[in-house]
Amino acid sequence: MSSSLHEPKSQVKKQKISNVEEMKEYTYIVVGGGIAGVTCAEHLYILDPEAQTLLLTASYLIKTVTNVLPLTKTLDAFDVEEQPPEDLASRCPSVTVERDAVVQLDAKNKVIHTNSGNKFKYEKLCICSGAKPKVIPAAGNNPYVLWIRDTESVSQFQARMMNAKRIIIVGNGGIATEMVYEVTGVEVIWVIKDKYMTANFIDPGAAEFFRPELCKEKGKKVLPLKRRKYTVDKASGDLPVMGGALGPDWHEKLELKGDSTHRVILETEVEVSCILSPEEVKKLGKTVSTTRFEEGSAEWPVYVELTNDKVYGCSFIVSATGVIPNSKDFLAGNNFSLSLEGGFLVDDKMQTTESDIYAAGDVCTPNWEISRHWFQMRLWTQARQMGSYAAKCMWSSISGEEMYMDFCFELFCHATKFFGKKVILLGLFNGQGLESKYDILLRYSEGVEYIKCVMVEGRMQGALLIGETDLEETFENLILNQMDLSEFGEDLLNPDIDIEDYFD
Ligand code: FAD
C-alpha cells in the first residue's frame, strides 16, 4: 500500500524549496488518526470548511465517533468505529488524510518531516499521537510479555490464547478489569498493587460488589454487534509507530475460548519482581505456587516471581499497567514543556509551550487551573472532548473569535461497563483530592446496583453509579449546582423517594 491515501487537493499551496523538493502547505495539520485527531479534523472542517486541513496518521484505519447519545449535559455515550480514511475525506472534503509517520518536527520553521521523506508546512498544528503501553519494568524484551493497545497487539494476544492454559494479568485499571471479565476458559492470575481490584475507578465497597463475578460463569452475549468492522493485515504496516488505541468493542476482538467459566486468582498488594525461565526456576531452587484450579503440578514456559515471594508459572503475561504519552517523535530540537510522565503540557487553549502547536488526547497533560470537579484520565471521552476543543481554539486563533473554556471540563464524567454492568463516574467519585474529609452515602443491592455519593458539608462532590440507576442526570446537576442537600440526609438515596422527580 502506498503511504499516501489521497493526493492533496489542488488548492493546497506547494512551496519550492529546492529544484527537486516541494513542500505542501496547510492551514491546519493534525497528527494522529485516533479519536482526538479525527475529532479535531472533523471540527476544523465544520468551523473552517474552506481551509485546507491535513490529517497525518501512522495507522491504516482511523477512529470515528458514531451514534452519539447524550446521557447528561456533559456526558455522551457513543460508539467508536474504525473507518478507512476515505470515509473522513468524503465527509469533510477539505480534509486530506495521509498515511505517514512524523519523524521530526521543526517548530521554528513550522515544518513536519515524515517517514516517507515528505515535508509539510502548517499554520497551526495539533499533535494527537496518543500513548504507548507502560510495560512492567521486569519485562525487558521477554517474548512472553504482551500488552494490548492496537489491533496488532490484539492479534498477538489471540494467537497466544490458542494454546494457553493460564495467563497472568498485571495491572488494575480499566483494561485489566475488562480482560479479567472477558477471558474465560483459562486460569487467570490477576496481579494488582492495590488492596482491592479496579482501584482507579471504584472504591473497596464496589470492588466487593463485583468480586463474586470473578468466579462466575459468564453470561452469553445476546445481541450481535451492530457496528461495521474493518480488518487489516497489519495495524501500522511498515511505519515505525503503533496504531491507535482500540475502540469500545476491543474485547470482542479477543475472541476467547468457548468455555465460559471464570477461574480467577486475585493477588493483591504485590508487584512483579522478576520473570524467570523454567531453567532459572530450577537453578535457583524456587518453590512454585499452585492454585486451587490446578490438577497436579504443571510445567510452564515462563514463571513470574511476585514481591510476596510467590512464584507462578503461566503460558504468558499481559502487562496492563497504564500508558506513557507518545510525545518523543516531536521533541528533538524543540522547546516543549512536558509533564513528569512525558505529556505535552497544554494551557487552557490546548496550546503547548511551542507557538501555534496544540495537543489533545492521551498525549497531552492539562496545565491550566482545573475546575474543582474535573481531572484528567486518559479515556475516549476526554480524547473526544479535547480534540473538539483544540479545533475550536486553533480556529479562534486564526479567526480572532473569542473562545471560552468548554463546559465539559467543569465535571469529570465517564460511562463504561465493568463485568457487564453499566458504570457511571461523576466528579470526585472516589473522593479524589478531598483528603478523606468527606462523607459517603451508599445504596446497595447485591448483584443489582451500587450507588455511592461523595458529600462534603451536605453538598455532592462526586458519585459512582453501578447498574441501571437512571440517576446520572440528577446527580450531575447536584454536583454542578452545589445545592445544599443537608436536610435530606440519608433520604437522598431512599429508594422510596423519587429524587429524580424531586430535583428535576
Ligand atoms: P490514540 O487512539 O492512541 O491515537 C493515536 C494516533 O496517533 C494513532 O492513529 C497513531 O497511529 C498516531 N500516531 C502516533 N505517533 C505518530 C506519528 N509519529 N506520526 C503519525 N501518527 C502517529 N477509554 C475509555 O474511555 N474506556 C475504555 O473502556 C477504554 N478501554 C481501553 C482499552 C484498551 C485496550 C486501550 C488500549 C485503551 C482503552 N481506553 C479506554 C483508552 C482510550 O482508548 C484512549 O484514551 C483514547 O483512544 C486516546 O485517543 P487518542 O486519539 O489520544 O490516541
Task: With CA atoms as reference, report the closest residue to 209 among 377, 469, 491, 452.
Answer: 452
Task: With CA atoms as reference, report the closest residue to 380 among 19, 51, 66, 136.
Answer: 66
Task: Say what the pLDDT of residue 352 is.
Answer: 98
State the closest ligand 1 atom to the C-alpha of 363, by its place in the atom list counted from 1: 52
Angle between helices 35-47 and 380-399 (to 10 degrees): 30
Quick one: DSSP state of residue 93?
T
d(C-alpha 291, C-alpha 274), whole Å: 19
d(C-alpha 336, C-alpha 398), whole Å: 22
Cα of 361 vs centre of ligand 1, distance in Å, is 8
d(C-alpha 67, C-alpha 116), whole Å: 35
Mutate-to-test residue for ligand 1 from 129, 155, 423, highest number of ligand atoms within 8 A of CB = 129
E strand or H helix at 395: helix 380-399
Cα of 61 vs centre of ligand 1, distance in Å, is 12
Query: Does ligand 1 lie within 6 Å of residue 381's CB atom?
Result: yes
Mutate-to-test residue for ligand 1 from 155, 177, 318, 362, highest number of ligand atoms within 8 A of CB = 362
Query: Does ligand 1 lie within 6 Å of residue 326's CB atom?
Result: yes
Query: Does ligand 1 lie within 6 Å of residue 247's CB atom?
Result: no
Task: Say what the pLDDT of residue 488 is.
Answer: 86
Query: Does ligand 1 lie within 6 Å of residue 99's CB atom?
Result: no
421 phi, psi to nearest 5 deg? -110, 145
Query: Does ligand 1 lie within 6 Å of residue 164's CB atom?
Result: no
- The Cα-based distances of 71 to 129, 448, 472 in angstroms read 28, 20, 8
Task: Say what the pLDDT of residue 12 is.
Answer: 60
Task: Say what the pLDDT of residue 281 is.
Answer: 95
d(C-alpha 221, C-alpha 333), whole Å: 51
Task: Say what the pLDDT of residue 1 is.
Answer: 32
Task: Say what the pLDDT of residue 223 is.
Answer: 40
Q: Where are the beta strands (DSSP E) in 278-437?
A: 302-306, 311-314, 316-319, 323-325, 344-346, 357-359, 364-366, 413-418, 421-427
160 phi, psi to nearest 5 deg? -70, -30
Cα of 274 vs centre of ligand 1, distance in Å, is 29
Residues of the chain with pLDDT under 70: 1-21, 217-244, 246-260, 295-297, 502-504
165 phi, psi to nearest 5 deg? -115, -30
Task: Say what the pLDDT of residue 234 is.
Answer: 46
- The Cα-based distances of 309 to 252, 316, 379, 391, 497 in angstroms read 35, 19, 34, 51, 52
E strand or H helix at 95: strand 95-99
Cα of 501 vs centre of ligand 1, distance in Å, is 39
Locate cell 480499566: which residue? 174
Cα of 107 vs centre of ligand 1, distance in Å, is 24
Mutate-to-test residue for ligand 1 from 148, 380, 424, highest number of ligand atoms within 8 A of CB = 380
d(C-alpha 227, C-alpha 249), whole Å: 9
d(C-alpha 55, C-alpha 38), whole Å: 8
d(C-alpha 223, C-alpha 44), whole Å: 36
Cell of 124: 497551526
Task: Say what the pLDDT of residue 424 is.
Answer: 94
Task: With CA atoms as reference, report the closest residue to 424 among 99, 17, 77, 162.
Answer: 77
Cross-strand pairs, 305 = 274, 311
Cα of 149 vs centre of ligand 1, distance in Å, is 7
AA identity, residue 396: S
Number of H helices, E strands in the chain: 9, 27
Cα of 35 vs centre of ligand 1, distance in Å, is 7
Render pLDDT for 208-226 as a digit per residue (tens, 0 to 9).
Answer: 888 888 777 666 554 433 3
Q: Are 107 and 357 in contact (CB under 8 A)?
A: yes
Cα of 329 vs centre of ligand 1, distance in Å, is 16
State the closest ligand 1 atom to the C-alpha of 63, by its place in the atom list counted from 1: 2
E strand or H helix at 208: helix 204-210
Task: Say what the pLDDT of residue 190 is.
Answer: 95
E strand or H helix at 391: helix 380-399
CA angle 203, 205, 206 (to 5 degrees): 70
List, in order, residues 6 or more apart from 269 with CB less than 8 Å away: 192, 193, 194, 195, 308
List, in order, residues 6 or more apart from 357 with CB less than 8 Å away: 105, 107, 124, 125, 126, 127, 336, 351
Task: Say what the pLDDT of residue 259 is.
Answer: 63
Cα of 91 vs centre of ligand 1, distance in Å, is 22
Task: Say what the pLDDT of residue 226 is.
Answer: 37
Task: Say what the pLDDT of residue 3 is.
Answer: 33
Q: Are 161 and 256 in contact (CB under 8 A)?
A: yes
Mutate-to-test residue for ligand 1 from 3, 4, 29, 35, highest number of ligand atoms within 8 A of CB = 35
Quick one: DSSP state of residue 169?
E
Cα of 493 vs centre of ligand 1, distance in Å, is 37
Task: Say what the pLDDT of residue 9 is.
Answer: 42
Cross-strand pairs, 465 = 424, 451
Cell of 398: 486564526
State pTM to two decimals.
Answer: 0.88
Residue whose CA is at the smallest distance from ligand 1 atom 12: 32
Task: Say what the pLDDT of residue 468 is.
Answer: 93
Number of other residues whose CB lies within 10 A of the CB of residue 168? 27
d(C-alpha 412, C-alpha 158), whole Å: 34
